[in-house]
Amino acid sequence: MNMNALNNALGQIINRPASQRPSGPRLSPWSTPAVPDSAWSSRDFMLGAGMVLIQRRTHKIVVVHETRKDYWFFPRGRKDVGESLEQAALREAYEESGYRAQFLPLINRTHQPTSPQVHDYDSYYNTEPVFMSLTSWRPRRRRNGTMERYGGEYLTTWYAGMIEEDAVAETGTGMPDEQDYQSHVLPFDEAERLVFGVERQILFYVWEMYIETIKAIRDFERQEAERIAASQEAPPIDEHIAEPVATQS
């Protein structure tokens, strides 16, 4: 992991003018400072979902290129009415990248509670959201100075997703204004170089969890292989040895 790049990504967000910076205590090193306690009506916020897609066999990442404006990003967009955030994440991934994705289970330490049937150690391996980003939109006034539209807050919930090695991106899946999008499956270093702002921060965090998950799976597989090998090397039981006879009192 390139920590300098991570610090630069955080700096793009933290080092904004004080008037544009949220106030509150600093959270984990992966997060920007907390926002103050707030309450927003449905007129003043919008919900969206995004997804970082990883090709598991190659460990490459799907990045979308907006060819007309020449910028790179991960699939994300607004949630439709009646749609869950999970449904929105999968739909946006398909519309903007052309890939039919699935959620990728990761070792994801979340504060979401678990049901009584789930063991604590199982709760770490889940498909819960991995990140949340918050951006604002400005109010719009008419020419006579009256308010046409108030500003608002846009909350995007991010998930980790996966595609198979033989997955093929479909074309023409996006909205009319998304027809300039082209998907690329890239190594981490190249993806990190192309995306910007908060999406770099999200990429670093997902990649860290992905690497930890891969290591944990390999450790488990190695331990299982050693256990099986040890059981096969154990001396066979001699079936001719008689069962012990109970003594008569």
Residue 22 lies in a domain: no
The count of structural domains within the chain is 1
49-61 exposure pattern, b = at least 16 Cβ within 10 A, e = fewer? bbbbbbbeeeebb
Checking DSSP bridges between strand 152-163 and strand 181-186, what pairing results, if any? Answer: unpaired
> Which of 78, 75, 76 is closest to 97 using CA atoms?
75
- Any domain includes 188: yes
Residue 222 lies in a domain: yes
Query: How far is the C-alpha of 22 from the C-alpha of 47, rounded, in Å?
Result: 19
Q: Report DSSP letters for 38-78, one per residue.
A: ----TTSEEEEEEEEEEETTTTEEEEEEETTTTEEE--EEE
Helix axes 3-14, 198-233, angle to 10 degrees: 140
What is the value of pTM for the model shown? 0.81
Task: Identify whether the C-beta of residue 149 lies closer than 8 Å to the C-beta of residue 168.
Answer: no
Count of beta carbons in the 10 Å neighbourhood of residue 203: 23
Higher-confidence residue of 20 and 84: namely: 84
Q: How confident is the model at residue 128 (pLDDT cuts 50, 70, 90)?
A: very high
Give the H or E element holding residue 187: none
Q: Which helix (H) or strand (E) covers residue 212, if one does? A: helix 198-233
Average pLDDT over residues 157-173: 95
pLDDT digits (tens, 9 = 90+) for 133-157: 999 999 998 888 888 888 999 999 9
> Is the distance from CB of 197 to CB of 12 less than 8 angstroms?
yes
User: What mean pLDDT comes out for the span 78-88?
Assistant: 98
Query: Which sign does the torsion angle of CA 79, 82, 88, 94 carry?
Result: negative
The answer to whether residues 86 and 159 touch, using CB atoms and an 8 Å cutoff, is: yes
Residue 32 lies in a domain: no
∠ Cα 23 25 30 (to 5°): 100
Residue 126 pLDDT exceeds 90: yes
SS3 state at 149: strand
If you average pLDDT over residues 39-58, what whole number do you get?
Answer: 96
- Token duo for residue 30: 């992966």
Provide the residue range defining the domain that includes 60. Answer: 3-16+42-138+150-231
The answer to whether residue 2 scores a pLDDT higher than 50 is yes
Record the tokens describing residue 110, joined without a space: 């979340």
Please, what is the Cα angle at 86 between 9 and 175, to 5 degrees?
80
User: Does some domain include residue 23?
Assistant: no
The CATH number given to whatever domain includes residue 172 is 3.90.79.10
Among 20-29, 123-132, 139-148, where is mean pLDDT lowest?
A: 20-29
Q: Smallest Cα–Cα separation from 72: which of 184, 166, 162, 174?
A: 184
Q: Is residue 144 part of a domain?
A: no
